[in-house]
Amino acid sequence: MLFVLKRIGVSVLLVWVVATIVFLAIRMVPGDPATILLSQGGVAPDPAAVAQLRIQLGLNQPLGMQYVADMHRLLVGDLGQSLQDQTPVAGEILRRLPRTLELIGAAAVLAVLLGLPAGLLAAIRRGGAFDRIASWLAAVALAVPIFVVGTLMVAIFAQGLHWAPAGGYVSFARHPLRHLELLAMPAATIAIGLAAILFRMTRAAVLDVSMRDYIRTARAKGVAPRRILARHVLRNALMPIVTVLALNLGSLLGGTVLVEYVFNWPGLSGLLVDAVNARDYPEVQGVVLVISVLFVALNLVVDLLYALLDPRVRHG
């Protein structure tokens, strides 16, 4: 119990540290939200209007007061309002986060469906034609930047063949078919790189496990090859594969920005980049904080699971 409380305490502390760092970092970067907002389109705003907007947005307050007000708001679960249009930040994140999670989730499913069987097959037929071709394709997929893949897909399937829309977003509730149609290309773009990683990882892990003593013993005992593969090789090889997949999915949480831009998918990463460009302090803080909390929560769950599985962790 003490271990659990300690871990939760550390997690809360981590979230506070992140909130403080983000608060200070975004304000240390030059750029005034009021000036940026009122000078859009290259016009010269009236300085008195800019000063007035700074007052309305509370930007004229001393930094310490802004910090105390921000932390107080966070304590009661309020992420504040956007400096641009006073939209509640929490509401906007709640709208955007599921879109990014959906994109990542769809990409993960595609990547697993493609990468895992291909990796397995390549390992079984090591050195064969399939292995060589698939390894070469995986190398290409990893070498080509994700925005190039996305742009090529748009050029071929949207602009060239007119098979798919170039990009955009419609909610599933409003138009399910159109939603899936719009999801397909960005998810596939992310999936290509991810599938290549999974392919390599699966191939290497399967080859590694296949050479272990217990596999040789199983073969010597006359266990059927199919059974060895499914029950012994794949099950043991899955551990590093799942770890790599989880790590990559975690980094995608804030890293789908290029795909979101190319396909006009309004997710969380795009929101963060736009907020930084506009110096929308509450929005930047809110998005970074939510991503951080998700990471910290994931780590907490993993730590607690380790403790559950391994008593040595519990007792230090």
Partner 1 sequence: MVELSRREWLIGAAALPVLAETARAAPADTLRFGLSSYPPSLQPWVNTGTAALTVKTLLHRGLLMFGTDGKVKGALASSWARDGKNGWTFKLRDAQFHNGQPVTAADVKWCLEQIMAPTSTAYLRGQFQAIASIEAPDAKTVRIIMKQPTVTLPLMLATPFAPIIAKGSLNAAGGIGAGPYTLTAQERGVSLSFAAFAKFYEPGHPKLRQIHMPVYADENARVAALQSGDVDMIEYVPWQAMAGIQKNPKLLLNTVDGPYMALAFNGGTGPFKDERLRQAVAHAIRREEIVAAAFFGRGTVLEGLPITKSSEFYDPKYAHGWNYDPKLAKQLMAAAGVPNGFDCTLLSTAQYGMHLATAQVVQQHLGAIGIKVKLDLPDWATRVAMGNRGQYEFCVQGQTADNNDPDGLSAYIDGTLPPDNARSYHLPTPEIHKLLVEGRAEFDPAKRRAIYDELQRVALKVVPLASLCWRAQGYAMTRNVHGFTNMPGGLNFYSGYSLENVYFA
Residues at the contact surface with partner 1, assessed by CB under 8 A: 29-32, 35-50, 52-53, 56, 84-87, 92, 95-96, 151, 154-155, 158-159, 161-169, 177-178, 181, 261-264, 266, 270-271, 274, 277-279
Minimum distance between the CB of residue 63 and partner 1, rounded to whole angstroms? Answer: 16
> How far is residue 35's CA from residue 43's CA, in Å, rounded to a whole number?
11
Quote the DSSP letter at residue 173: T
User: 26 and 281 in contact (C-beta within 8 Å)?
Assistant: yes
Q: How many angstroms separate the CA atoms of 174 and 178, rounded?
A: 9
**Cβ at position 226, least distance to partner 1 in Å:** 29
The terminus-to-terminus CA distance of the chain in angstroms comes to 13
Closer residue to partner 1 in complex, CB, 85/213: 85
For residues 99 and 106, give the distance between their C-alpha atoms in angstroms, rounded to a whole number. 11
Nearer to partner 1, 65 or 155 (CB): 155
- Cβ proximity to partner 1: between 270 and 286 the closer is 270
69: amino acid identity, one letter: A
Q: Which is nearer to partner 1, 250 or 266 (CB)?
A: 266
Close Cβ partners of 305 (under 8 Å, ≥ 6 residues apart): none
Shortest Å distance, C-beta 13 to partner 1: 31
In whole angstroms, the minimum distance from the beta carbon of 78 to partner 1 comes to 17
Nearer to partner 1, 129 or 161 (CB): 161
Nearer to partner 1, 93 or 205 (CB): 93
Annotate 198-230 with b (16+ C-beta within 10 A) or e (fewer). Answer: bbbbbbbbbbebbeeeebeebeeeeeeeeebbe
Q: Which of 17, 49 has the CB closer to partner 1?
A: 49
Q: How far is the CB of 222 from partner 1 (least distance, A)?
A: 41
CB of 274 to partner 1, least distance (A): 8
- DSSP string computed for 44-94: ---HHHHHHHHHHHTTTS-HHHHHHHHHHHHHTT---B-TTT--BHHHHHH
- Cβ at position 203, least distance to partner 1 in Å: 31
Beta carbon of residue 255, minimum distance to partner 1 (angstroms, whole number): 17
DSSP string computed for 186-244: HHHHHHHHHHHHHHHHHHHHHHHHHTSHHHHHHHHTT--HHHIIIIIIIHHHHHHHHHH
Measured from the CB atom, the residue of 12 and 51 that comes closer to partner 1 is 51
197-252-247 Cα angle (round to 5): 55
> For residues 172 and 179, is the Cβ–Cβ distance under 8 A?
yes
Residue 87 vs 236, nearer CB to partner 1 = 87
Question: Residue 29 Cβ, how far from partner 1 at the closest point, in Å?
Answer: 7
